[in-house]
Structures are given as C-alpha cells and as structure tokens.
Amino acid sequence: MPTVQQVWRQALPAETELVAGESGLYEEVSWVVSLKPTPPGFQSIRGREFALVDAGAAEKLGVSLPALVSSLAERKVSATAILGDIVPDLKAQADRADMCLFRLPRGCNILSLEADMARLISEERSHLYNREYELSNALMDVALSGKGTGVILERLRRLTGRSIMLLDAAFQPRSDAPPEALSEVSNAAKLIVERLERSSSTPQVAGLRLGPEHACFAGLLTLGRATGGYLVLLGTAGELGGADRLAVKVGTLALTVEMSRRQAVEETEDRFQTEIMESLLAGDFSSSQVMAERARRLGLDFSVPYVALAVQSPEPHKLEDLAGKAASTLRTARCHLHQGALVVLHPSPDATVSGMRHLGAEIARQLSAGDGPVSLGLGRPYTGAEGVHISFQEALRALTMGRQLFGDGAVVYFGDLGIYRLLFSSEKSELKTFCEEHLGQLAEYDRKNAGELLRTLEVFLKCNNISETARRLHVHRNTLLYRLNRIQEISAIDLEDGETRLALHLALRALQVIQSA
C-alpha cells in the first residue's frame, strides 16, 4: 500500500498544506474515505484510511471538528485532510496520535479528489502486489537455501538501491553500516521501538523521519518471543514510499526464516555438545574410541593429554557469566557447566607438577579478575576419554578438599593433596576413632589448661628439629623440651619411635579433615 507521503505528493492538490502529525508521513494508506453530510457520515473504517473532511459536512451532521478528528485517531486512520479552518486543538490531537493532518485549498472538490486518490491507491496496490511477488521469490529462495544473512542483505540492496543495515536487539550493527547513517538510526532507537510496538502489520514495520534529509523503514525480527534484531532501510526523506516499506516487510520475513533456521541448527548442536560433555564427565560411554570421535566435533583431540579443572564462584548466581568469561578467555579449552561448577577441559603440554600448578594459578587469575577469587581444583593430565573422566573426578575432589581445608579461593592440584586423598576417602567414624586414640588425651589437656601441646606436636613433626621448632613457635628451647616431655607423659608415647611419629602425623591430618567437614 502507498504511504501518506506518496498520496500527498501524487494525488492531493499542489496547494495542500501539512499542518500537523508529520511523524505519520510514512504510514500506510489502505483506502480513501470522505465525510458525507448525512449519517453515518463515514462508511466502515477499518484503520489506515486517508479521511477527507469538509467542515461544512461536519457542521450539517452536528459534529465538531475536534471530536471528529479525535474519533478518527482512535480508529487508527493514517491521515486526515480538512477543507476548512483548522484550530490549534486539531493540530495537537494529530501530533499526539502521529496522524497526518492536512489543510486542503479552498474550492477543492472533495468528490473529485476522492476519485483521484482511490485510483492512485488501486494502481499502487496492483504495482506493490507484483513487487511483493518479485521480492518474495528473490529473497525467500535465498533464506530457504541457508546462504546466510549477508547474502539476503546484499540482494535486498541490489533490488532496492537503498542503504540497508541489520542491527541486533541493542541497535548494534550486525552488518556493514555507514557510521553517519548508523548514528542517525541509533539516536532514533527509542522512537523506532515505540513505532514498531504500535505497528499492526505482520511482521511489524514502521517508518519515520530521521532528520531534515533522511528517513527510514525499520522491521522487527522476532525469534520465538525474543527480539532478534532490526532490519533498517534508509533513503532520502522525500523518496521513500510503499515499495520501500514492502521491501523491509519481505526482507524481515526472509531474515527471520534464515535466523530461525540457524538458531535451530545452533540449538541442536548445543544439545549434541552438551550430551557429549555430560556423557564424558559421567564416564557414561561404552567405547572410548567412539567417544573420542564424537568429542572431536567439539575440537577435543584425546590423543594429547588433557587436564580437567572444576571451578566455583563465590557468587553461584554468576556462574553463567563465569562460563562466558572462560569461553572467551581460554581459547584452547572446552568449557561446560555441570552440577553447580564450571568444568574446563584444557590441553596440557606441560604435565609436570610445576606446570599444573602454574596452569591452575593462571586460569584462576584470569577468571577471578574483577569478580572476586574463584575456587579451583585440578585433576592430573591424562589422554583418552577415560582419562578425561578420571581427571574430572580428581578435579572435583581437589575442589571439594581445597575449599574444606583452605577455604574459598583455594587453588588445589590433586597431585599435591598427598595423604589427604586417603584421609578424605576414609570412613569418617574410623578417622574420629583413630584421632581419639592418638590425640584424645592431648586435646583434653589443652582444653582444660588452655595449652599448646597439639600445636607444639604438629610443628615438631613438620620440622623434626628442636631449634627450628622453637623458632617457629616463638618459645625458648627449654620451654619446647618441657612441652615435648609432657606430650610423651600424657599420651604414654615415645617421640623417638618412627612408627609413633607417623601415626601422630596421620592423626593430625585426619583431625584437620574432620574439622573442615
């Protein structure tokens, strides 16, 4: 259908003046209606008509022009042309409704004008019908063949001779866009969204003036219930017409088809990748070779060693943001959210203990920047699908043990946990009994006397040297010797016995595990 501006320029008398509602110049005109001096005045109005009003006919009907214009605006008429005086109230009503308001020159023949306008609209409809057929064939074929949005946009440029741009939901360019034109459209973003929300067409298309020289048509791309972006066609303000609106309509449909198809493919691929990762981490696969082939689609080459890392954020609700940061930062790794943790599979060219420690510290540094420290556990490096599953299990244990032993923000390599691996896997009741047998009397003495015997024993076993132990405890050598004698007396043990020292060392570590649980 033609625009209000087209009808104005091509059918209304040359002396016709636009007095209000300039923002509605690019609305569609479905038909022309004129006010008759006998009830009901107008025949059926369905919206988007161009109304011709003789003030004399309105007077005969006993209807004021403000009431009449208000009624037409409520019924979504695109434009009204009045033969007679126009008071300021009428202008304000038209501006609020984005309905163009024209003043016809005196002596204008309404019936003759209505016939001319009807003829123009009919001819333009026929022309646009053929144009829609051509555009649909040209653009939908490209969309259905899956050649991409770039090909659709380029073909639309060639078919219209206009500047075309594709913007995302935030009005950022998804295609090449002249900076000056992009700036004009961005400045009008809020107005474009408002116009599109009021659009009744499918898909939603709105036209508006961007400045003294330029205007645009914008189409809303919807993917499901979400905004997929905007297709914008720009041109000189006086040139844009119904054919340009139609091009945006068909282009928006074609782009929606292409983007929906691509979204469906991506969602299918995401589900496939998620299934692979979940099966891999759970060890739920019958053949390592088959799993390796499937994982290769994720870019994972299990012929080289991989190390699994399990990461947790101090703020669990930010885990998805953490995953996004990891995916953009760790380019050679594969990241996946799994049961409240971010899992990272990272190739491991340096499988040494120092190499693992450095890798864990570096990844923790990158992921912690600006968002607080993350807790991180690393498994040992392995090759093959089964090896990755084992490394992941180790990473989870390292993460859990690290947080229990050292608190949030700990970065722990499974290979560094030593005896703790055995202690954590032991029955807690057995650990408690073991601790009670070896440390119970000392703990009771410390509790009653505010003593330091357990602390003294722990430092002594670590140093195995009287002078160094005294230095670390900040006590005199004689004080230390007294404490060691008391430990032997209370527990009835001999600290010179190697097996005794080993049992006490294990008991102290077991106590640490129990207290951290």
* Contact partners, residue 442, CB within 8 Å, separation at least 6: 453, 454, 457, 487, 490, 491
* Contact partners, residue 437, CB within 8 Å, separation at least 6: 507
d(CA 363, CA 376): 9
Calculate ∠ Cα 344-386-403, nearest 5°. Answer: 45
Ranges of each domain in the chain: 4-121, 146-263, 288-416, 424-516
DSSP 12-47: S-TT-EEEE-GGGTTSB--EEEE--SSTTSS----S
Q: Do 48 and 76 meet the contact criterion of CB atoms below 8 Å apart?
A: yes
Question: Hey, what amino acid is at 386?
Answer: E
Best CA proximity match to 462, nearest among 435, 426, 491, 501: 501
d(CA 203, CA 195): 13
Best CA proximity match to 82, nearest among 51, 68, 113, 103: 103
Determine the pLDDT at residue 370. Answer: 66
d(CA 482, CA 476): 10
* Predicted confidence (pLDDT) per residue in 32-73, tens digit: 999 888 888 888 888 889 999 998 888 888 888 888 888 898
Strands laid side by side in the 79-83 sheet: 17-20, 100-103, 79-83, 49-54, 31-34
Determine the CATH number of domain 288-416. Answer: 3.30.70.270
Determine the pLDDT at residue 425. Answer: 60
Best CA proximity match to 145, nearest among 137, 135, 154: 137
- Tokens standing for residue 118: 């009807």
Mean pLDDT of 232-236: 90
**Signed CA dihedral, 56, 57, 60, 64: sign only:** negative
Report in angstroms the alpha-carbon separations of 121 from 17, 32, 76: 20, 8, 18
Percent of the chain's residues with pLDDT above 70: 97
Best CA proximity match to 225, nearest among 271, 269, 263: 263
- Tokens standing for residue 122: 């009919």
* Contact partners, residue 113, CB within 8 Å, separation at least 6: 11, 12, 13, 52, 104
Q: DSSP state, 186?
A: H
* Contact partners, residue 48, CB within 8 Å, separation at least 6: 1, 27, 28, 29, 30, 31, 76, 77, 78
Query: What's the fold here for domain 424-516?
Result: Arc Repressor Mutant, subunit A (1.10.10)
* Predicted confidence (pLDDT) per residue in 149-200, tens digit: 999 999 999 999 999 999 999 889 888 878 888 888 888 889 888 888 888 7
Determine the pLDDT at residue 422. Answer: 65
d(CA 165, CA 251): 11
* Contact partners, residue 264, CB within 8 Å, separation at least 6: none
Question: Hey, what amino acid is at 144?
Answer: L
Determine the pLDDT at residue 492. Answer: 85
Largest Cα–Cα distance of the chain, in whole Å?
A: 124
pLDDT surpasses 70 at 109? yes
* Predicted confidence (pLDDT) per residue in 195-225, tens digit: 888 887 888 999 988 888 888 999 999 988 8
Q: DSSP state, 3?
A: B
Mean pLDDT of 417-436: 71
**HEC per residue, 368-422:** HCCCCCCEEEECCCECHHHHHHHHHHHHHHHHHHHHHHHCCCCEEEHHHCCHHHH
Determine the pLDDT at residue 395. Answer: 92
Best CA proximity match to 327, nearest among 315, 341, 345, 351: 345
Q: In a 10 Å sphere around its CB, with 0-12 CB exposed, 13-18 middle and 19+ buried, how is residue 511 labelled? A: buried
Q: In a 10 Å sphere around its CB, with 0-12 CB exposed, 13-18 middle and 19+ buried, how is residue 271 labelled? A: exposed
Helix (H) or strand (E) holding 353: helix 353-368
DSSP 39-106: TTSS----SSEEEEEEHHHHHHHT--HHHHHHHHHHTT-SEEEEES---HHHHHHHHHHT-EEEEPPT
Question: Hey, what amino acid is at 380?
Answer: R
Report in angstroms the alpha-carbon separations of 209 from 27, 35, 306, 502: 11, 30, 58, 85
* Predicted confidence (pLDDT) per residue in 53-63, tens digit: 998 888 888 88
Determine the pLDDT at residue 154. Answer: 92
Phi then psi dihedrals of residue 313, to 5 deg: -95, 150
Q: DSSP state, 304?
A: S
Correct CATH for 146-263 of 3.40.50.300, 3.40.30.10, 3.30.450.30, 3.30.70.2190: 3.30.450.30
Query: Mean pLDDT score of the chain, rounded to an integer?
Result: 86
Q: Do 399 and 481 meet the contact criterion of CB atoms below 8 Å apart?
A: no
Correct CATH for 4-121 of 3.30.230.70, 3.40.50.300, 3.40.1390.20, 3.40.50.970: 3.40.1390.20
Mean pLDDT of 220-242: 88
Determine the pLDDT at residue 424. Answer: 65
* Contact partners, residue 33, CB within 8 Å, separation at least 6: 42, 43, 45, 49, 50, 51, 52, 114
* Predicted confidence (pLDDT) per residue in 270-315, tens digit: 788 888 888 888 888 878 888 888 888 888 888 889 999 999 887 7
